[in-house]
Amino acid sequence: MLELIVATKNKKKLKEIWEILRGFNLKLSSLVDYSRAPRIIENGKTFKDNAVKKAVKIARFSKKLVLGEDSGLCVNALSGAPGVYSSRFSGKNKSDIRNNLKLLKLLRGLPLNKRKAYYICAVALADEHGLLGVVEGKCRGAIGFVLKGSRGFGYDPLFVIPKYNKTFAQLGEKIKYGMSHRYHALSKAKKIIQKYIEKHKGN
Protein backbone atom coordinates (compact mmCIF):
# COMPACT_ATOMS: atom_id res chain seq x y z
CA MET A 1 0.00 0.00 0.00
CA LEU A 2 1.24 3.48 -0.91
CA GLU A 3 2.32 5.57 2.07
CA LEU A 4 1.56 9.26 2.47
CA ILE A 5 3.60 11.10 5.09
CA VAL A 6 2.04 14.26 6.50
CA ALA A 7 4.98 16.50 7.40
CA THR A 8 3.85 17.60 10.84
CA LYS A 9 3.82 16.48 14.47
CA ASN A 10 0.77 18.58 15.37
CA LYS A 11 -1.77 15.98 16.53
CA LYS A 12 -4.82 18.23 16.16
CA LYS A 13 -3.82 19.24 12.64
CA LEU A 14 -3.12 15.59 11.76
CA LYS A 15 -6.52 14.50 12.96
CA GLU A 16 -8.24 17.04 10.72
CA ILE A 17 -6.08 16.20 7.67
CA TRP A 18 -6.55 12.45 8.08
CA GLU A 19 -10.30 12.84 8.54
CA ILE A 20 -10.61 14.89 5.34
CA LEU A 21 -8.43 12.42 3.39
CA ARG A 22 -10.42 9.43 4.58
CA GLY A 23 -11.40 7.13 1.73
CA PHE A 24 -8.06 6.94 -0.03
CA ASN A 25 -6.35 3.55 -0.14
CA LEU A 26 -3.25 4.94 1.58
CA LYS A 27 -1.15 4.22 4.60
CA LEU A 28 -1.09 7.56 6.44
CA SER A 29 1.85 8.45 8.65
CA SER A 30 3.45 11.60 10.05
CA LEU A 31 6.72 12.96 11.38
CA VAL A 32 5.81 11.36 14.71
CA ASP A 33 6.68 8.07 12.96
CA TYR A 34 10.00 9.41 11.64
CA SER A 35 12.14 10.50 14.56
CA ARG A 36 15.22 10.96 12.36
CA ALA A 37 13.51 13.27 9.88
CA PRO A 38 15.35 16.57 9.33
CA ARG A 39 14.12 19.63 11.23
CA ILE A 40 12.28 22.13 9.06
CA ILE A 41 12.62 25.84 9.75
CA GLU A 42 9.47 27.61 8.59
CA ASN A 43 11.05 30.81 7.32
CA GLY A 44 9.16 31.19 4.06
CA LYS A 45 7.52 34.49 3.15
CA THR A 46 4.26 32.77 2.20
CA PHE A 47 2.24 29.77 3.32
CA LYS A 48 3.01 28.12 -0.03
CA ASP A 49 6.76 28.59 0.55
CA ASN A 50 6.58 26.77 3.88
CA ALA A 51 4.32 24.00 2.60
CA VAL A 52 6.62 23.31 -0.35
CA LYS A 53 9.71 23.32 1.86
CA LYS A 54 8.17 20.72 4.20
CA ALA A 55 6.98 18.46 1.39
CA VAL A 56 10.18 18.53 -0.68
CA LYS A 57 12.61 18.18 2.24
CA ILE A 58 10.79 15.24 3.85
CA ALA A 59 10.26 13.55 0.46
CA ARG A 60 14.00 13.70 -0.23
CA PHE A 61 14.67 12.20 3.19
CA SER A 62 12.01 9.47 3.10
CA LYS A 63 11.84 8.71 -0.67
CA LYS A 64 8.05 8.61 -0.22
CA LEU A 65 4.96 10.67 -1.08
CA VAL A 66 4.76 13.61 1.33
CA LEU A 67 2.13 16.23 2.09
CA GLY A 68 3.41 19.54 3.46
CA GLU A 69 0.92 21.96 4.96
CA ASP A 70 1.11 25.48 6.31
CA SER A 71 -1.80 27.54 7.49
CA GLY A 72 -2.72 30.60 9.48
CA LEU A 73 -4.99 33.55 10.07
CA CYS A 74 -5.04 36.81 8.12
CA VAL A 75 -6.90 39.80 9.55
CA ASN A 76 -7.85 42.61 7.17
CA ALA A 77 -7.57 45.38 9.76
CA LEU A 78 -4.01 44.25 10.55
CA SER A 79 -2.88 44.26 6.90
CA GLY A 80 -2.97 40.47 6.79
CA ALA A 81 -1.26 39.80 10.12
CA PRO A 82 -0.57 37.50 11.86
CA GLY A 83 -0.23 35.64 8.54
CA VAL A 84 2.75 33.25 8.36
CA TYR A 85 3.56 34.17 11.97
CA SER A 86 0.17 32.92 13.22
CA SER A 87 1.52 30.13 15.44
CA ARG A 88 4.24 32.34 16.96
CA PHE A 89 2.30 35.62 17.04
CA SER A 90 2.81 36.14 20.76
CA GLY A 91 6.58 35.69 20.61
CA LYS A 92 8.99 33.44 22.45
CA ASN A 93 6.49 32.11 25.02
CA LYS A 94 3.86 31.49 22.36
CA SER A 95 0.66 29.57 23.02
CA ASP A 96 -2.82 29.51 21.55
CA ILE A 97 -4.24 31.56 24.42
CA ARG A 98 -1.44 34.16 24.27
CA ASN A 99 -1.89 34.48 20.50
CA ASN A 100 -5.64 34.97 20.89
CA LEU A 101 -5.27 37.54 23.65
CA LYS A 102 -2.74 39.54 21.62
CA LEU A 103 -5.14 39.55 18.67
CA LEU A 104 -8.00 40.78 20.84
CA LYS A 105 -5.80 43.56 22.21
CA LEU A 106 -4.83 44.75 18.73
CA LEU A 107 -8.47 44.80 17.58
CA ARG A 108 -9.84 46.45 20.73
CA GLY A 109 -12.52 49.03 19.94
CA LEU A 110 -13.16 47.89 16.38
CA PRO A 111 -16.76 46.97 15.44
CA LEU A 112 -17.57 43.56 13.93
CA ASN A 113 -17.66 44.90 10.35
CA LYS A 114 -14.02 45.98 10.78
CA ARG A 115 -12.93 42.58 12.12
CA LYS A 116 -13.09 40.56 8.90
CA ALA A 117 -10.52 37.80 8.57
CA TYR A 118 -9.81 34.56 6.79
CA TYR A 119 -8.01 31.35 7.50
CA ILE A 120 -5.71 30.18 4.71
CA CYS A 121 -4.11 26.79 4.11
CA ALA A 122 -1.44 25.82 1.60
CA VAL A 123 -0.89 22.15 0.77
CA ALA A 124 2.08 20.86 -1.22
CA LEU A 125 2.72 17.33 -2.42
CA ALA A 126 6.13 15.93 -3.35
CA ASP A 127 7.97 12.67 -3.84
CA GLU A 128 11.67 11.88 -4.12
CA HIS A 129 11.74 13.35 -7.64
CA GLY A 130 10.41 16.75 -6.58
CA LEU A 131 7.28 18.88 -6.23
CA LEU A 132 4.04 17.43 -7.63
CA GLY A 133 1.81 20.42 -6.97
CA VAL A 134 0.74 23.08 -4.49
CA VAL A 135 -2.77 24.39 -3.78
CA GLU A 136 -4.48 26.79 -1.38
CA GLY A 137 -7.82 27.01 0.36
CA LYS A 138 -9.51 29.79 2.34
CA CYS A 139 -12.32 30.13 4.85
CA ARG A 140 -13.71 33.61 5.52
CA GLY A 141 -15.11 34.88 8.79
CA ALA A 142 -14.65 37.54 11.45
CA ILE A 143 -12.83 37.91 14.75
CA GLY A 144 -15.15 37.84 17.75
CA PHE A 145 -14.89 39.98 20.88
CA VAL A 146 -14.39 37.15 23.39
CA LEU A 147 -13.14 33.57 23.29
CA LYS A 148 -16.03 31.15 22.78
CA GLY A 149 -16.10 27.36 22.61
CA SER A 150 -13.85 24.58 23.84
CA ARG A 151 -13.26 22.62 20.64
CA GLY A 152 -10.73 23.32 17.89
CA PHE A 153 -7.32 24.90 18.23
CA GLY A 154 -5.34 27.97 17.19
CA TYR A 155 -7.64 30.95 16.69
CA ASP A 156 -10.80 28.81 16.51
CA PRO A 157 -12.33 30.29 19.73
CA LEU A 158 -12.27 33.75 18.08
CA PHE A 159 -12.98 32.85 14.44
CA VAL A 160 -16.69 33.49 13.87
CA ILE A 161 -18.48 31.91 10.90
CA PRO A 162 -21.19 34.41 9.84
CA LYS A 163 -23.54 31.68 8.55
CA TYR A 164 -23.81 30.18 12.04
CA ASN A 165 -22.84 33.23 14.15
CA LYS A 166 -20.63 30.86 16.11
CA THR A 167 -16.89 30.27 16.35
CA PHE A 168 -15.17 27.18 14.96
CA ALA A 169 -14.52 26.19 18.58
CA GLN A 170 -18.29 26.24 19.22
CA LEU A 171 -19.26 24.48 15.99
CA GLY A 172 -16.94 21.53 16.51
CA GLU A 173 -15.15 19.13 14.22
CA LYS A 174 -18.04 17.77 12.14
CA ILE A 175 -18.98 21.18 10.73
CA LYS A 176 -15.44 22.57 10.64
CA TYR A 177 -14.04 19.61 8.69
CA GLY A 178 -16.59 20.23 5.93
CA MET A 179 -15.88 23.93 5.41
CA SER A 180 -12.48 24.85 6.80
CA HIS A 181 -9.52 26.28 4.90
CA ARG A 182 -7.91 22.83 5.20
CA TYR A 183 -10.99 21.22 3.70
CA HIS A 184 -10.86 23.52 0.67
CA ALA A 185 -7.11 23.05 0.15
CA LEU A 186 -7.21 19.28 0.64
CA SER A 187 -10.19 18.94 -1.71
CA LYS A 188 -7.91 20.32 -4.44
CA ALA A 189 -4.97 18.22 -3.25
CA LYS A 190 -7.07 15.04 -3.51
CA LYS A 191 -6.93 15.30 -7.31
CA ILE A 192 -3.11 15.34 -7.23
CA ILE A 193 -3.06 12.39 -4.81
CA GLN A 194 -5.52 10.37 -6.91
CA LYS A 195 -3.49 10.98 -10.07
CA TYR A 196 -0.35 9.85 -8.22
CA ILE A 197 -2.04 6.68 -6.94
CA GLU A 198 -3.24 5.74 -10.42
CA LYS A 199 0.20 6.37 -11.92
CA HIS A 200 1.90 4.13 -9.34
CA LYS A 201 -0.62 1.26 -9.28
CA GLY A 202 1.14 -2.06 -9.15
CA ASN A 203 4.56 -0.56 -8.40
Point out the residues that are catalytic: 70
153 annotated ligand-binding residue: yes
182 annotated ligand-binding residue: yes
8 annotated ligand-binding residue: yes
150: Cβ–Cβ under 8 A, 6 or more apart, which residues? 157, 169
Answer for the pair 122, 51: CB distance below 8 angstroms, yes or no.
Answer: yes
71 annotated ligand-binding residue: yes
9 annotated ligand-binding residue: yes
155 annotated ligand-binding residue: yes
15 annotated ligand-binding residue: no
62 annotated ligand-binding residue: no
Distance from C-alpha of 171 to C-alpha of 15, rounded to nearest angstrom: 16
User: H or E stretch including 71?
Assistant: strand 65-75
Q: Sheet with 116-127: list strands edge to edge.
A: 27-30, 3-6, 65-75, 116-127, 130-143, 159-161, 166-167
Burial 56-69 (b: 16+ CB within 10 A, else e): bbbbebbebbbbbb
Residues tagged in the binding site annotation = 8-13, 70-71, 153-156, 176, 181-182
- Residue numbering of the annotated binding site for substrate: 8-13, 71, 153-156, 176, 181-182
